[in-house]
Structures are given as structure tokens and as C-alpha cells.
Amino acid sequence: MFTIEINGKSVEANDGQMVIDAADAAGIYIPRFCYHKKLSVAANCRMCLVEVEKMGKPVPACATPAVSGMKVFTQSQKALDAQKAVMEFLLINHPLDCPICDQGGECELQDLALCYGEDVGRYTEGKRAVADEDIGPLVATEMTRCIHCTRCVRFGTEIAGFRELGMTGRGEKSRIGTYVKHFMQSEVSGNIIDLCPVGALTSKPYRFTARAWEMSQHRSIAPHDCLGSNIYVHTRGYEYSDFREVMRVIPRENESINETWLSDRDRFSYEGLHKDHRLTGPMIRKEGKWLQVDWPTALNFAANKLRDIINSKKPDQLAAIASPSSTLEELYLLQKIVRDLGSNNIDHRLHQSDFSQQENAPLFPGMSTELASIDSMDAILLVGSDIRREQPLAGLRVRKACLNGATIMRIGSIDHDVNFKLSENVHTTPSTLVESLQAVVDSLTSDANKSSIAKHLKNSEKSLIILGDEAQSHSQATLVRALCLEIAKLSNAKIAIMTLGANSAGAWIAGAVPHRKAAGENSSAVGLNAQTMFSQPRAAYILLNVEPEHDLIHSSTAIAALMAADFVMSLSPYMSPVHADLADVLLPIAPFTETDGTFVNVEGKWQSFNAVSPPYGEVRPGWKVLRVFGNLLELNGYDYICASEVRNELEKLLQHSNVPTDRTSLEKNTSNKPKGFEILYEWPAVCVDNVSRRANALQSILMPLQRTVSISSETAKDLGIQSEQLITLKQSDREITVPARIDARIPNTCVLVPKGVSLTSGFGDGFAEITVQRGESHA
């Protein structure tokens, strides 16, 4: 640490720090285009030229290391002249199309041209024009506006690990592009929109819909994965007006979670909130017809039905299933109602099949370390995880660790492509996953270090085991978890259970599990879980943000039970065709942008957010609906005035909570290897919940592989089919005939069923026996 002088002010600087960083830290702004704190220094735009005492020529502040005693002038005549000259050069070829440019009003070039540009140009020659490229449905290009800062190229190379954009050509002919027509294949491609300092790369879904100055900016939390990325939601329209609309979502910097980035899913899912997709008001089914009714009618109808069933049958005839992306407040109130009515049948573990030892779980499954610490791990073992698509920004951190020299290893049944180097890649089947983990445990306990995974974990000072969706939805998930805990214990590794949705941790804490009440208090009676509440059909069900045909691993059993039930009420912003078939009441609740709420992320961080726009039409926030519903059921203690009161009540309960850490223990491996085919499920990144499934641009990036069932080439040969021919899958009395694709990621004798897509709507009954046959109707 030493001091330098900038504009006569003493400023602290570190060894190796660049002048621009020291100035930024001290709040002194130096203009820049190519410099970005998260990217390498390119020093090619020259906008940050400053004067340094005893240096003859102006120097770029982004590439000049601070030296003790250095005197920097950012606004001297010499510095200003240099900056103005650079600006004049940049504007030579930049089109004067700000009025029709989406970046207008939030453009770094426009802002700096105001300060450093001349009002009249001296350049009279023809300007350069560059043909646009179509790089996919998310990012729009207008390459004539490009000033060649190469931020997008560096982001791809350094951060995202996709080297798809580059600068081709030379001098005046140089241009940014893919050279060969090509759609970007990245889960974080939208970040180049933020990085682009001009209007060359803009958001395609948002294009030409609003102006920066028309919008209000609101702090919120991204609702699709367990990281809880911090976001800004931009809305247009007066506050409290029904016309206020969400126009777009951009990242809000939070170094400990999402840094300055955002995944494409979190950025573009807002399209799913659009009014066209939404329920406008409560609906009830009368004599087989859906009627629009007012709230009192709908809620009274539901309360009466529910009371009748509970009075005429037993309270345990009621079951509730909630999405783990519901808010903490909604989940808490839902379980409170269910329990106050005398039932413990509530769950949020939509992808889970193995619920054994749930009593040994900690307060919530999550990470035993911080997200940011992933960057500095020495070894990381991914177990059944497609981290790139499940938690894209955690994936970027794994990549960062890898670039820092960490050894990244993987055990899993789907050979997902990764953007980091895998030192060990054990490609298993679901049934051999357990054996592979056992082998690691065995080599850690015996002296003979046979497994190199064990060796790496043991020899690393800081190591981490990450459990992804496959590990958690595995048919022997408890055993998988116990083995991972054992490996972690033996190798002194940290563990991260990357849970589904934005708020799985919150769901556990709120008590949306059948064996524990709020704040982890043991329930005297253990209710039915997400599987058994359907395999042992109930008379009444409450669905909270759940679409059974897509969200559940036991879709077919669930739909059968829901169809047969006396009464089903669904709380959701949307109505799906399946809801229309099986529900009796539809209560439209607000999505995350229209309600106050809290998400608890995988680290256990509570992040609250407020509604950014009024609920659409007759829609109401879920916590309010449940509060009124509790009152109508004549239950006590539902007089909350605001969402934070619900949160405070739960927080108070937590003060007395003392759930021990994870005690999941190793029980004997009782696996009986299934005969015939094994089923694998995959929820494509853009199909994980009801909001993302309705976001049009995101849906259009679904890969062909995610629109078909996948099998290995050997399996295809055995079945005698070619890629894209039909196969018939039969499981628990349900049969579908769908196109199959040969997919190198899939092990033999396995079939990968994508969930959340219309192709397999309603199909899937966990790991029940499946038969796979050549489909009929081969032309």
C-alpha cells in the first residue's frame, strides 16, 4: 500500500494496481470504453488517456500501474486534449443514429461524447458500414455502431468460456462477429449486452419497446436458481397504475453472489410474466364449466369445500405441494394452514424420490461455505451436476477456480459439456453412480489410494463437493448424499447441495416439509411427502405454483391422484391445460415482481424484495390470499398486515431452533440393479418453472436435444432405430411415443426424458420400471 496523487488528491494504491482502479476506488472518474474491472486489460480504446508527471506522452490509465509518488492528472489540458482527440476518432465511423438506437439514453459513448465530443465533426468522407450478424434470439446486433472495445470478445474468452465472437479483418475492415454464421451457445450470453458500451449489442426481446428514461428501476432477486442473484427490474408506467409493466431485467452488482453478471434465464424470463400468459382473476369450476368469479366467491367456495372434506373425512385427506421458487412467506403460510387444519402432508421436493432419513437433514440443505469461496477452491468434485445450466453463475465460479489452477472432477450419468477442464470424468449410469462414490470412499479409508478423485480431494487444502439435480433426484438420493458427506468428512472437503428453485432453503425453514414444522421443529406426526401424497391419493389438494405435468418427477401418478380427488385448488399466476382439467378453483397469485417476499439462497442468505408493479388485473400476492384464506377457514393467527410480519414471525421461531448439522448416515447399499432400461430426467435450463417455460425468447434457445428423448448410439442400434425416429416409452400404465435422438452424453441402456417440455407433458413416474421399444408408425 502506498499513495499516489490524482488531480492533487492523495489516493491509496496497491502494488500492481492500475491507475484507473486506484482512481475508481477514490471516486475519481476516468472515461473508458474497453476497460472493465472483471476483464483483462486491452488498452485499445485509448479513452482513458491521462497525464502523468514526468511521462512525456499521455498514458492509458487502465494499463499504467500505479507507482508510489506518481502524480496523475485526469483533467489537465494535455489529458483533455488527448481524450477529445480519441473521441473524435471514435466518432468518425460511429453512425449518428441515437434516435433509433436502443442504447440511446444509457450509452457510454453518448454520455462521453457529450463531455468530450465536438458539436460539429470535421470528417467529411464516407462512413464505414458493417453488415449485421444473427447471433441468436437473445442478442440483437447493429455492428456499424461497434467501436471495437472487445469487451464482448474478452467476456467470452475469459469469463464464459465461449470463444465464439472475435475480431476479424484489419484496420478499417476489422469487425466483431462470429465470421461464420453461428448462434451463440452460452448460458450467460446476455451479459455482453451490458458490457457493450454502445448500441452494437442490445437485447433482442426488449428491442424497440422502451427508452431508458421512461423506466423506473427496482431492486429484486432472481427467482430461478438457488443462488438468489441480485437484479434490477425495470418497469414502465406510473406507480400504482395498471399499465405499469416489467420491461426488462438487468444484474445488480453483488460481489458475493452474482458479481456483475446474470444468467440468461434470470435475464430473459420476465417475458413469461407478460399478461398474455396470465390468469386475470379467480375462477371456479361449476358443472364442468370454468367461471370467472370475484375473490370472496372463490375463497368461500374453496374454504367450504375444504372444510366439508375435512369434516366428513379425516384431516389427513388434505395434501399440499408447493414450488420451491415460492416465497418464504407463501410457503410459511401454506404449511401453517395445512397444519392448522390437522394435516402434515406438505412438501416442496418436486424432483425427489428418495425421502429416507429426512429426519437427519439439517435445517436446510445448502452449502457449508460461501458461494464466493468456490473461486479459490483447489479441487471440486461435481456429483450429478450440470452446474453450467442448473446454476449458471456458480458454473462461472467453478470455471474461475479451474483457471486459478483447481482440479475439477465429475461423477454423473449425463456427460454434460462443460466450459472448464475436467481432470477426472467418471461417466456412470444412475445405478453405478453409487458404486463410483463408494469407490472414492473406499480409497479414502484404505491406504491404497486407488481412486485419483480421492487423491486429489485428499491432497487439496480447500476442496468442495457439489451435488446437482441428478444427485438429489436420484432413486437412492439419501445414499448418494451420505456417501458425499463421508467423502467430505474423510477428505476435509466442504459440501454444497445445489437445490432446486430459488427458495428450497426457505421451504425447509418455513416448514414446507412433511416431518418438520416451521423453523425445523419436529412434527409429532410425519405427513406424506411429494411422492406418497400422490401414490396414496388424497381427497383434497392445494397446489402452489406447481404444474404437475412438468414440475414433478412423479407426474403421471400425481395427475392420476389429482384427477380422482374431490377437490383441487391451484394458486398460480397461470392456468395450464392440465390445471383446467383437474382443478376446481384457480386462484391467480402474483409472480415475484408483483409481491413482497423473501428467498433464502443456498448459503442461507435471506434476501427480501418488494413488488415492482401492482398485481395484474384481479391477481393478488400469494401471502395475502393465504392470509385471507386462513381467516375464512376460521383459523387463528392470520392477521398479518404486511409480508414482513410473516417473515418476522418465522424469524422469531428460528431463535429457538436448534437443528443439528447433517446427520445423514451411511446405510447398507440395498440397490438392486434394475433390469432393462434406466430412466434419467433432465429439466432443460429454460424449463425449470412456470415462469421460464413461458418466456418466448428463452424457449427458442432450447436445443434440439432437449426437444426429443435421448438414447445412446448403441441403444439405438439395439432398438433398430435411427436418430429422430420414434420410440415408445411405457412406465406405470402411461405410454408415449416420441422421437428419439442419439446423444453421446447418455450411457447405454439408459433413456433421458426431458421434463418441462410439451413433448413429455405428464409423463414420468420417478424410477418405476420403464420399457423402451421401437415406436410404431415407421414410414
Partner 1 sequence: MTEAVTIAPETQAEIDRWLKKYPTDRKQSAVLQALMFVQRDNGGWLSEAHLNAIADYLELPRIAVYEVATFYDMYDLKPVGKNKIDVCTNISCKLCGCDKIVSHLEKRLGIKIGETTSDGRYTLKGVECLAACVGAPMMQINDLEYHEKLTPEKVDAILDRLEKEGDK
We find the least distance from the C-beta atom of residue 165 to partner 1, in angstroms, to be: 7
Give the side-chain half-sphere CA count within 13 A for 126.
4
Residues 169-228 that bind partner 1 (CB under 8 A): 169-171, 174, 178-180
- Tell me how far apart the alpha carbons of residues 474 and 680 are, in angstroms, rounded to a whole number: 9
We find the least distance from the C-beta atom of residue 94 to partner 1, in angstroms, to be: 22
Cβ proximity to partner 1: between 152 and 752 the closer is: 152
Q: Candidates 165-173, 337-345, 375-383, 628-636: pick the segment binding partner 1 (CB under 8 A).
A: 165-173
Residues 323-342 that bind partner 1 (CB under 8 A): none
We find the least distance from the C-beta atom of residue 167 to partner 1, in angstroms, to be: 6
Q: Candidates 7-15, 162-170, 734-742, 769-777: pick the segment binding partner 1 (CB under 8 A).
A: 162-170
- Tell me how far apart the alpha carbons of residues 402 and 463 are, in angstroms, rounded to a whole number: 12
Cβ proximity to partner 1: between 168 and 657 the closer is: 168
We find the least distance from the C-beta atom of residue 389 to partner 1, in angstroms, to be: 21
We find the least distance from the C-beta atom of residue 405 to partner 1, in angstroms, to be: 13
We find the least distance from the C-beta atom of residue 153 to partner 1, in angstroms, to be: 9
We find the least distance from the C-beta atom of residue 169 to partner 1, in angstroms, to be: 5
Question: Rounded to the nearest 10 degrees, what angle do helices 643-654 and 328-340 cross at?
Answer: 70
Which residue in the block uniquely carries the three cell numbers 426429443?
Answer: 708
Cβ proximity to partner 1: between 54 and 181 the closer is: 181
**Any contact of residue 163 with partner 1 (CB under 8 A)?**
yes
We find the least distance from the C-beta atom of residue 166 to partner 1, in angstroms, to be: 4
Cβ proximity to partner 1: between 189 and 327 the closer is: 189
If DSSP states are collapsed to H, E and C, what string results for 657-722?
Answer: CCCCCCCCCCCCCCCCCCCCEEEEEECCHHHCCCCHHHCHHHHCCCCHHHHCEEECHHHHHHHCCC
We find the least distance from the C-beta atom of residue 373 to partner 1, in angstroms, to be: 27
Could you tell me if residue 287 is left (phi over 0), alpha (psi between -120 and 50 degrees) or otherwise beta?
left
Residues 413-472 that bind partner 1 (CB under 8 A): none
Cβ proximity to partner 1: between 40 and 168 the closer is: 168
> Nearest Cα to 620, choosing from 322, 279, 291?
279
Check if the beta carbon of residue 147 is closer than 8 Å to that of residue 201.
no
Cβ proximity to partner 1: between 168 and 304 the closer is: 168
Check if the beta carbon of residue 347 is closer than 8 Å to that of residue 529.
yes
Cβ proximity to partner 1: between 165 and 587 the closer is: 165
Q: Which of 137, 166, 537, 614 binds partner 1 (CB under 8 A)?
A: 166
Handedness of CA 765, 767, 769, 775 (dihedral sign): positive
Q: Candidates 15-23, 161-169, 332-340, 509-517: pick the segment binding partner 1 (CB under 8 A).
A: 161-169
- Tell me how far apart the alpha carbons of residues 587 and 510 are, in angstroms, rounded to a whole number: 22
Q: Which of 133, 164, 330, 689 binds partner 1 (CB under 8 A)?
A: 164
- Tell me how far apart the alpha carbons of residues 175 and 166 are, in angstroms, rounded to a whole number: 8
We find the least distance from the C-beta atom of residue 724 to partner 1, in angstroms, to be: 18
- Tell me how far apart the alpha carbons of residues 641 and 628 are, in angstroms, rounded to a whole number: 11
Cβ proximity to partner 1: between 170 and 289 the closer is: 170
Cβ proximity to partner 1: between 165 and 247 the closer is: 165
Neighbours of 335 (CB within 10 A): 28
- Which amino acid would we find at residue 640? Y
Q: Candidates 164-172, 183-191, 369-377, 698-706: pick the segment binding partner 1 (CB under 8 A).
A: 164-172
> Nearest Cα to 59, choosing from 19, 98, 89?
19
Query: Which are the contacts of 111, defined by CB distance < 8 A and separation ≥ 6?
Result: none
We find the least distance from the C-beta atom of residue 202 to partner 1, in angstroms, to be: 21
Cβ proximity to partner 1: between 135 and 394 the closer is: 135
We find the least distance from the C-beta atom of residue 170 to partner 1, in angstroms, to be: 5
Q: How many residues bind partner 1 (CB under 8 A)?
A: 13
> Which grid coordinates belong to 351?
424432483
> Nearest Cα to 442, choosing from 476, 486, 494?
486
Cβ proximity to partner 1: between 3 and 178 the closer is: 178
Could you tell me if residue 590 is left (phi over 0), alpha (psi between -120 and 50 degrees) or otherwise beta?
beta
We find the least distance from the C-beta atom of residue 182 to partner 1, in angstroms, to be: 9
Binding mask 666-685 for partner 1 (x = CB under 8 A): --------------------
We find the least distance from the C-beta atom of residue 214 to partner 1, in angstroms, to be: 37
Cα 466 to Cα 397, 400, 423, 497, 761: the distances in Å are 12, 15, 16, 6, 29
We find the least distance from the C-beta atom of residue 150 to partner 1, in angstroms, to be: 11
We find the least distance from the C-beta atom of residue 178 to partner 1, in angstroms, to be: 7
Helices and strands, number each (H, E), in the chain? 23, 32
> Nearest Cα to 587, choosing from 293, 240, 225, 246?
293
Check if the beta carbon of residue 337 is closer than 8 Å to that of residue 633.
yes
Neighbours of 508 (CB within 10 A): 27
Handedness of CA 444, 445, 448, 451 (dihedral sign): negative
We find the least distance from the C-beta atom of residue 403 to partner 1, in angstroms, to be: 13
Q: Candidates 88-96, 167-175, 255-263, 580-588: pick the segment binding partner 1 (CB under 8 A).
A: 167-175
Q: Which of 68, 168, 536, 665 binds partner 1 (CB under 8 A)?
A: 168
Cα 448 to Cα 211, 379, 454: the distances in Å are 65, 20, 10
Cβ proximity to partner 1: between 168 and 459 the closer is: 168
C-alpha 275 chain-centroid distance:
22
> Which grid coordinates belong to 297?
366467491
54, with CB counted inside 10 A (0-12, 13-18, 19+), is exposed
We find the least distance from the C-beta atom of residue 773 to partner 1, in angstroms, to be: 34
Binding mask 121-160 for partner 1 (x = CB under 8 A): ----------------------------------------
Residues 8-67 that bind partner 1 (CB under 8 A): none
Binding mask 77-116 for partner 1 (x = CB under 8 A): ----------------------------------------
Cβ proximity to partner 1: between 126 and 171 the closer is: 171
Cβ proximity to partner 1: between 135 and 751 the closer is: 135
Cβ proximity to partner 1: between 166 and 537 the closer is: 166
Cβ proximity to partner 1: between 167 and 526 the closer is: 167
Residues 298-317 that bind partner 1 (CB under 8 A): none
Handedness of CA 38, 39, 41, 46 (dihedral sign): negative
Check if the beta carbon of residue 593 is closer than 8 Å to that of residue 246.
yes
Cβ proximity to partner 1: between 16 and 171 the closer is: 171
Question: Rounded to the nearest 10 degrees, what angle do helices 430-445 and 477-491 cross at?
Answer: 20
Cβ proximity to partner 1: between 170 and 668 the closer is: 170
Positions in the binding site for partner 1 (CB under 8 A):
163-171, 174, 178-180
